Amino acid sequence: MRLVFPIVLTAAGCASSTPIDAARVVDLTYPFNDKSIYWPTAQKFSLTRVAWGHNDSGHWYASNDYAASEHGGTHLDAPIHFAPNGWSTAEIPVAQLIGPVRVIDVRRQCDGDRNYQVTVADIEAHETVHGAIEPGSIVLLRTGFGRHYPDARLYLGSDVRGSIEGLSFPGFGPDAARALVDRRVDMVGLDTASLDHGSSTDFAAHRIFCEANIPGLENVANLDRLPPVGATLIALPMKIEGGTGGPCRIIAFLPR
């Protein structure tokens, strides 16, 4: 199902719209700062103040430089991240970054297993209650690990920089990833640092999604504020030419 936003033209030919109800907008993005969660081997976010104050003419001027890996904080994985013929960040069609969102709640399973791999049965259990996942949907996993952000030890399982030993958090299992590809979803995501579970060494879910040109969202915030079905999501990453991912501002509109 592809979402359609109606545009109403006035007699003068100008677009007319009603104000956005702020109470229906949910920000699913963590702020970028020195506490942002990054992969242990990736360059973390840093901000350098270049100017901050009144200049010689008495006018205020402020400017910063920033540096970071593409993959950290709330961000998007482009298909080329794990598929040589996949889209780069700038090549992803904008329409694929907007759509109806499904939130699959697997908190109970993840509470019992930090490296839980979401299964086809989890997807089917969601569909039994909320209806079949339609083509064009965006599917997010609510693992409950968002409650630990930005504590790296609790969120990632380890706070040792430069080492991936000891990482433990939930992710998509390979069979679940294939099931969502079969359902022709537009995008996937979750409230952990990777589409794959923390102890993964082959990153199977990443490869399955990326080979199907399905982008992934990682470190998604505030999933507790979304219903299982009915919200609309917009995820707009920095448009990096040749990029393998990028920082992403993600918002959702709650159903009326």
In a domain, 198, yes or no: yes
**Rounded-to-integer distance, Cα 190 and Cα 211, Å:** 19
pLDDT given at position 11: 44
Per-residue pLDDT tens digits for 62-92: 999 999 999 999 999 999 999 999 999 999 9
Contact status, residue 154 vs residue 98, Cβ threshold 8 Å: no
pLDDT given at position 20: 85
Domain at 231, CATH number: 3.50.30.50
144: containing domain: 22-253
**% residues pLDDT > 70 (the chain):** 93
Global pTM? 0.93
Please check the confidence at residue 117 and state whether its pLDDT lies above 90. Answer: yes
User: How is residue 72 annotated by DSSP?
Assistant: B
pLDDT given at position 1: 44
How far is residue 197 from each of residues 51, 111, 183, 229, 252, measured CA to CA in Å? 42, 14, 22, 24, 25
92-95's contacts with Cβ under 8 Å and 24+ in sequence apart are: 92/215, 92/237, 94/236, 95/2
In a domain, 95, yes or no: yes
Q: Which of 59, 71, 75, 81 is catalytic?
A: 81
> How many CB atoms within 10 Å of residue 14?
8
In a domain, 214, yes or no: yes
In a domain, 228, yes or no: yes
Please check the confidence at residue 103 and state whether its pLDDT lies above 90. Answer: yes
Among this protein's residues, is 81 annotated catalytic? Answer: yes
State the DSSP H helix or E strand holding residue 219, giving kind and residue range, or none if neither: none
Per-residue pLDDT tens digits for 5-59: 443 434 444 555 678 899 999 999 999 999 999 999 999 999 999 999 999 999 9
Calculate Rg over the CA atoms of the chain: 19
Query: What total number of domains does the chain contain?
Result: 1
